[in-house]
Amino acid sequence: MSQHRDLRHLRPAVPDRPSLDGLETKWDQGWSAQGTYTFRLGTPRAEVFSIDTPPPTVSGSLHVGHVFSYTHTDIVARFQRMSGKEVFYPMGWDDNGLPTERRVQNYYGVRCEPSLPHDPDFVPPLEGGQPSAASQDSAASQGKAAKPAGPVPISRRNFVELCQRLSAEDEKQFEALWRHLGLSVDWTQTYQTIDRHARATSQLAFLRNLARGEAYQQLAPTLWDVTFRTAVAQAELVDRDQPGAYHRIGFARVDQTADAAKPADAAKPDPAASPDAAGRVYIETTRPELLPACVALVAHPDDQRYQELFGTRVRVPLFGTEVPVVAHPLAEPDKGSGIAMVCTFGDVTDVIWWRELHLPTRAILGWDGRVLPEAPMGVDSPAGRSAYAQIAGLTVFSARKRVVELLRDSGELVGEPQPITHPVKFFEKGEKPLEIIPTRQWYLANGGTDQALRRRLLARGDELTWYPDFMRVRYQNWVEGLNSDWLISRQRFFGVPFPVWYPVDQFGHPVHDRPIVPAEDQLPVDPASDTPSGYRPDQRGKPGGFIGDPDVMDTWATSSLTPQIATHWRDDQALHESTFPMDLRPQAQDIIRTWLFSTVVRAELEQRSLPFYNAAISGFILDPDRKKMSKSKGNVVTPMGLLEQHGSDAVRYWAASARLGTDAAFEPGQMKVGRRLAIKILNASKFVLSFLAAGAEGAGPLALDPARVTDPLDRSMLATLATVVATATEALEAYDHTRALEVTETFFWTFCDDYIELVKARAHGEAGPEGAACAQTALGLALAVLLRLFAPFQPFATEEVWSWWHHQGQSIHRQPWPTPGELVPDQAAAGDAGVLAVAGGVLSALRKAKSEAKVSMRAELASATVAVPAELTAAAVAAKADIMAAGRTAELVLAASGTETIDLLSATLSPSQ
């Protein structure tokens, strides 16, 4: 060590032409090497700030919206770190679930066929979606996959291997982007939602839920996506407007008594009335193909038209089923004919009627969305069975067409179908309307059925601090609107399996109500390949043996545990206790109902606490048409391309200019401004450091003494900056990064345009050594503070400058956050904050004189008279020498005026001009 006492030769020189180029790579490597952002294990909870980073879905590509919102979080992280907190800032990758499966199918040209055996030498037919895919852009390659021979069926294990292989590739690219953007993530704290630790955590939480009765199985009507052949949860529903048609169909009354029937039968059908004189009822339906699944007709109990019919039976056209006419308040008298057909199941209302009116089940759709081969109970007549045979095996679409033809032939269709557009429920990732199919599924209590739990969850929503606060309402609305528990099982492949087996009875059937669970220390398990204790592998599927639960968990069932996963609730008690509940959950507004809510549910059930104290909700990015920028549309700009084009600090500046919860326009103009700011920081710093190199050799940025600053203008500048520090700090503490940036930036431009110009001559020594030392110290103090104020926003430019200055190699991002006291140690002797403003105003007046005379700013003025508000003249006089030097004015008269503005009264150019 001692042989390097003179470190000057190691000191990075201030470059002649500072540049932003290459700073991202340089400092990413520097920070990695120094472990600048590595979390120090063992820090007490009170000194930690922990962040529940959203794990991005690696199967998609990152877009500008991600860059936007992750920057917001990084600003918080950097501010907290500099404020003395040890920041726990992990990064997860959401590689679990359907999006990855779908991407793998397209990328490699395969599909999962669970019945196939594993092929250890399998080579996928495609790579990147096409054998010759030129584009690296995953979004572009999606959607036009594997035309040639169709996807190749492969085993579940092969499929999962491909999922993991592709995810790993994506994760590398994502990490590269985040590093380039300058996220101060601790890259030693990463996880994947499909990795061993996340699976074990998911399974452990589930087993605890099961033991406490919060998780349960139920055979029930389930919202079902026929394309993906899986159940979906309420939170994953979206309504989409679809074309459809009302079909008016007549139901004849079943003869009950001979005397009542006779005259009625004589009456002619009258489709205009319902019921008509013969007691025929006309319903309108958009789903005629569900006629064989009809179990009742329902009308409002107060509907006078149907009073006579309640309790009677009618016959379903074509299929001959006899169904009752029943009353229920959900039926709407003014909708259609006021009477509806109840099917098992056409929509969610059918489920309510079915449940509350104790109607029978007549399911006709299978998991693939096709009409089941066997007619349901009740379709017993030869004619009915014959009609059914004509639609068995058809898709819903084809069956509808066929039924309409049959109805038309039989004369039971009244008029022609009336086309309409109506909202239909879809799985948010699906392409076909959802069906409702009775299946056995796992549910988790979420307050949908348990009112006491719902109240607790609402209380947690109140307890949580929201930025901005109005986002709380979205949570409340969602929780208040829940009408069922959370369906967490999915009939998919790439996910966390349920850690459950079932005994197989003597007839070969699984006994679902006696699940076999593993011990907690065995997790994670895969019941499809692992054998429960007490059984032998060869007993799988055999009578008297066991069988694994075939399903995997909903991806939200894992990502709802990100706080528990990231803080290692399961396997590192010390880390968990020093980071949980976490301080911050940053996320997008559209997943409050899913991710945020489900995370609150899991922590409430497991820890009886909030999972995090603060939620910061970022808005969307809007494209120039004011529409949400989505992958399908706005993705012509890739995030990495943006960062390379403008520079990361510039893009961060744009992101930082938008407040939390507010949608922001994609605006390259703002990025150019941000780039200009970063360059300005480099250049202004170069100027300031040119004095300190000579005058304060060896002194670091924090070694300057404000007590040495005596000049009124200098003191005024420092006092003004002190208020900026106070304001920026307060704003950042309140998650208002926009305001912090704004006040800092505004001051910085004044600092550059006015202060630096005013003191330039003096700093060069033109007013003597004392004045020079004073100005130089003030410049240095201001720069040391400004750099730190900018550091969370512009981590690269500020770090670069810091390295020129502070040659011990300490990162600016571990420096203490600036305080007003560094600039104004003694409040009583604080400078007059007005001097800088007035001096700047007078200087502007002199510049205006030159601008109007169309001469260079360097031109000399022989004399000038400037009117200054009387109460400010003293302040102006205090800076008069600096003003004259900066304005190159030989004779300056400061005239006290009664006005409130600073005005140029007269100016005379020097004769030599």
Residue from 470, 519, 694, 697 touching RNA (CB under 7 A): that is: 470
CA–CA separation, 873 and 895 (whole Å): 8
- Mark the segment that binds RNA (CB under 7 A) among 144-152, 421-429, 449-457, 515-523: 421-429
Taking alpha carbons only, the member of 354, 285, 284 closest to residue 326 is 354
Q: Are residues 715 and 832 in contact, defined by beta-carbon separation less than 8 angstroms? A: yes
Q: How far is the CB of 856 from RNA (least distance, A)?
A: 3
Residue from 137, 347, 572, 860 touching RNA (CB under 7 A): that is: 347
List beta partners, residue 866: 894, 904
Q: How far is the CB of 565 from RNA (least distance, A)?
A: 25
**Residue 290 carries which DSSP code?**
G
List beta partners, residue 582: 612
Residue from 662, 819, 906, 910 touching RNA (CB under 7 A): that is: 662
Number of neighbours of residue 438 by Cβ within 10 angstroms: 17
Strand, helix or coil for residue 307: coil
Q: Interaction with RNA in 238-267: which residues (CB under 7 A)?
A: 238-239
Q: Is 765 in the site for RNA (CB under 7 A)?
A: no
Q: Are residues 234 and 487 in contact, defined by beta-carbon separation less than 8 angstroms? A: yes
CB closer to RNA out of 372 and 872: 872
Count of residues of this chain found to bind RNA when the rule CB under 7 A is applied: 85
CB closer to RNA out of 151 and 674: 674
Here the tokens at position 474 are 């979205």
Q: Is 451 in the site for RNA (CB under 7 A)?
A: no
Characterize the bridge pairing of strands 190-192 and 237-253.
Answer: unpaired
**Residue window 723-752: x/- pattern of binding to RNA, with contact defined by CB under 7 A:** ----------------x--x---x--x--x
CB closer to RNA out of 86 and 649: 649
Q: Compute CA distances 117 → 113, 149, 538, whole Å.
A: 9, 21, 16
Q: How far is the CB of 151 from RNA (least distance, A)?
A: 31
Residue from 86, 850, 872, 892 touching RNA (CB under 7 A): that is: 850
Half-sphere exposure in the Cβ direction for 76 (13 Å, CA): 28
CB closer to RNA out of 343 and 453: 343
Q: How far is the CB of 732 from RNA (least distance, A)?
A: 14
Q: How far is the CB of 893 from RNA (least distance, A)?
A: 19
**Residue window 798-837: x/- pattern of binding to RNA, with contact defined by CB under 7 A:** ----------------------------------------
Taking alpha carbons only, the member of 541, 557, 538, 543 closest to residue 602 is 557
- Mark the segment that binds RNA (CB under 7 A) among 146-154, 206-214, 336-344, 712-720: 336-344
Q: Tell me how long the chain is.
A: 913
Strand, helix or coil for residue 465: strand
Q: How far is the CB of 885 from RNA (least distance, A)?
A: 13
CA–CA separation, 222 and 204 (whole Å): 26
Residue from 589, 618, 729, 744 touching RNA (CB under 7 A): that is: 589
E runs forming strands in 328-396:
339-343
Q: How far is the CB of 760 from RNA (least distance, A)?
A: 6
| List of residues 6+ apart from 895 with CB closer than 8 A | 865, 866, 867, 868, 905
Cβ neighbourhood burial of 521 (10 Å; 0-12, 13-18, 19+): exposed
CA–CA separation, 298 and 313 (whole Å): 11
Q: Are residues 673 and 791 in contact, defined by beta-carbon separation less than 8 angstroms? A: no
Q: Interaction with RNA in 593-652: which residues (CB under 7 A)?
A: 593, 622, 626-628
Q: Interaction with RNA in 349-388: which residues (CB under 7 A)?
A: 349, 352
Q: Are residues 758 and 840 in contact, defined by beta-carbon separation less than 8 angstroms? A: yes
CB closer to RNA out of 286 and 777: 286
Half-sphere exposure in the Cβ direction for 488 (13 Å, CA): 29
Q: How far is the CB of 188 from RNA (least distance, A)?
A: 34
CB closer to RNA out of 341 and 884: 341
Q: How far is the CB of 129 from RNA (least distance, A)?
A: 28
Q: Interaction with RNA in 274-333: which residues (CB under 7 A)?
A: 284-287, 298, 330-333
CB closer to RNA out of 250 and 338: 338
CB closer to RNA out of 530 and 753: 753
**Residue window 863-882: x/- pattern of binding to RNA, with contact defined by CB under 7 A:** --------------------
Residue from 188, 856, 906, 910 touching RNA (CB under 7 A): that is: 856
Here the tokens at position 130 are 């096409």
Q: How far is the CB of 646 from RNA (least distance, A)?
A: 9
CA–CA separation, 451 and 447 (whole Å): 6
CB closer to RNA out of 467 and 493: 467
Q: Interaction with RNA in 883-902: which residues (CB under 7 A)?
A: 900
CA–CA separation, 89 and 77 (whole Å): 7
Q: Is 339 in the site for RNA (CB under 7 A)?
A: yes
Q: Are residues 307 and 294 in contact, defined by beta-carbon separation less than 8 angstroms? A: no
Strand, helix or coil for residue 674: helix
CB closer to RNA out of 453 and 681: 681
CB closer to RNA out of 668 and 809: 668
List beta partners, residue 242: 422
Residue from 11, 197, 370, 474 touching RNA (CB under 7 A): that is: 474
Helices within 64-194 (DSSP H only): 64-82, 98-108, 138-141, 156-181
Q: How far is the CB of 362 from RNA (least distance, A)?
A: 15
- Mark the segment that binds RNA (CB under 7 A) among 194-202, 706-714, 848-856, 890-898: 848-856
Q: How far is the CB of 838 from RNA (least distance, A)?
A: 13
Q: Interaction with RNA in 59-98: which residues (CB under 7 A)?
A: none
Q: How far is the CB of 331 from RNA (least distance, A)?
A: 4
CB closer to RNA out of 120 and 911: 911
Q: Compute CA distances 723 → 82, 434, 747, whole Å.
A: 19, 59, 10
CB closer to RNA out of 210 and 845: 845
CB closer to RNA out of 126 and 684: 684
Q: Interaction with RNA in 214-243: which residues (CB under 7 A)?
A: 234, 237-239
Residue from 40, 355, 422, 455 touching RNA (CB under 7 A): that is: 422
Q: Are residues 835 and 810 in contact, defined by beta-carbon separation less than 8 angstroms? A: no
CA–CA separation, 840 and 847 (whole Å): 10
CB closer to RNA out of 471 and 823: 471
Here the tokens at position 719 are 């006092």
End-to-end CA distance of the chain: 59
Q: Residues 51, 486, 242, CA angle at the centre, nearest 5°?
A: 105
Residue from 723, 753, 809, 874 touching RNA (CB under 7 A): that is: 753
Label residues 364-378 b or e (16+ Cβ within 10 Å = b). bbbbebbbbeebbeb
Q: Interaction with RNA in 663-692: which residues (CB under 7 A)?
A: 663-665, 667, 669-670, 672-673, 675-676, 679-680, 683-684, 686-687, 690
Q: Interaction with RNA in 6-65: which residues (CB under 7 A)?
A: 19-21
CB closer to RNA out of 572 and 663: 663
Q: How far is the CB of 674 from RNA (least distance, A)?
A: 10
CA–CA separation, 494 and 101 (whole Å): 7
List beta partners, residue 487: 443
CB closer to RNA out of 469 and 697: 469
| List of residues 6+ apart from 842 with CB closer than 8 A | 866, 868, 876, 879, 883, 887, 892, 894, 902
CB closer to RNA out of 82 and 656: 656
Q: How far is the CB of 708 from RNA (least distance, A)?
A: 23
Amino acid identity, residue 889? T
